[in-house]
Amino acid sequence: MTVIVIYHNPDCGTSRNTLALIRNSGIEPHVVEYLKTPPSRALLVEMIDQAGLTPRELLREKGTPYAQLGLGDDALTDDALIDAMVMYPILINRPLVVTPIGVKLCRPSEAVLDILPDAQRGAFAKEDGEQVIDAAGQRVI
């Protein structure tokens, strides 16, 4: 059985679309609402590393205490940025998806297609109506 984990915010359209794309491949992922159940510092560091990101690349600015905390300061170390994300999980950009193929920050949501082990099972359109997968299960470019 394929285990996929999505670090999800149900209030985020990109996160909802990513979750729906995972389900469209026939897999019911383990959904972690990371604002309620944030990853440990060690797990966060591991996912950042596996995704090939820097902590700064995972930082979310919009709708967060980013500015108030002065996180735009380039002098801040990776450890300081990770500490901020652990203290304020809203600073973690979403959705992060973990599959046997890899870890990816899925922005835009169709980025998840690069790490899903199973093909799409049918047509899929995002919440805004943008067609992403056609009736044959193929990605629309």
- Residue 106 annotated to the active site: no
Q: Dihedrals φ, ψ of 40, to 5°?
A: -65, 165
Count the Cβ atoms, other than its own, within 10 Å of residue 77: 9
CA–CA gap between residue 54 and residue 48 (Å, rounded): 7
CA–CA gap between residue 92 and residue 103 (Å, rounded): 14
Question: Which residue among the candidates 4, 6, 12, 71 is catalytic per the annotation?
Answer: 12
Active site residues: 12
